[in-house]
Amino acid sequence: MQQTNVFFLSHGGGPLPLLGEPSHKEMVTCLQSVAAKITKPSAILMISAHYEANPIAITASATPKLIYDYYGFPEQAYQLAYPCAGEPKLAEQLQQALKSNGIATNLDTQRGFDHGMFVPLKIMFPEADIPCVQISLNPTLDPAMHLKIGQVLQQIEYENLLIIGSGFTFHNMQAFFAKQTTAMQKLNQSFEQWLIDTLASPKLAEPERTQRLTNWKLAPGAQFCHPREEHLLPLHVCYGAAQRPCENVYELEISGKKASMYLWL
């Protein structure tokens, strides 16, 4: 099996990181530093919070378009370009691996890349010269299933592959627009600390780490930070693919909320 880097990133609010929004400055700096730290990948396999399908879907177009799946932003947000290629052979290999492990999948030759993919990649790899494939979440949002999907990704034989989970460790939309309170800050911070302990502590055995992620709703602040968990589950896929404590934790603030990113080298 080839060594594969795995990275979970918090992707911020829509296209704001590309529009010079000050509340996303730390995020932009973090993504640029990670891109500089790792070996430039030969291909990227992306799990985005903004792609759900049942059965699991995998983008299989050689020339995918972009999906501007956000609303109410300036015109320039709908003119952003990221002309990277798809990688149909990687998509087919991924489909076979998932099917061999009892996970039904479809290849989707029509779907393009959503903003959970192209916004962070435009920051990390602005040349758009790395082929990419996206895999969907399953809308059941079952944590055990998404951990298993990550475990299957370990079987992919592709030299210098980068697996990215694109979500957000805090995703309570109502809280983003509400007046900040001490109680909200404590819930945000408590869940962030739980995530850091779960993903980075060398004291945890891997079965315990898996159990904590499976039962993530029991964590302090969990359901406040994630009323719906689609922005958290790409992290489950990442851990499933890594199966070890992460080497690097990045703590930052995005839009006034504590957030984090995790890198397995």
Q: How many domains does the chain have?
A: 1
* pLDDT tens series, the chain, 265 aa: 456 899 999 999 999 999 999 999 999 999 999 999 999 999 999 999 999 999 999 999 999 999 999 999 999 999 999 999 999 999 999 999 999 999 999 999 999 999 999 999 999 999 999 999 999 999 999 999 999 999 999 999 999 999 999 999 999 988 788 888 999 999 999 999 999 999 999 999 999 999 999 999 999 999 999 999 999 999 999 999 999 999 999 999 999 999 999 999 9
pTM of the model: 0.95
10 Å Cβ neighbour count for 110? 9
Domain containing residue 10: 5-264
Handedness of CA 119, 230, 260, 211 (dihedral sign): negative
Report the CATH number at residue 102: 3.40.830.10
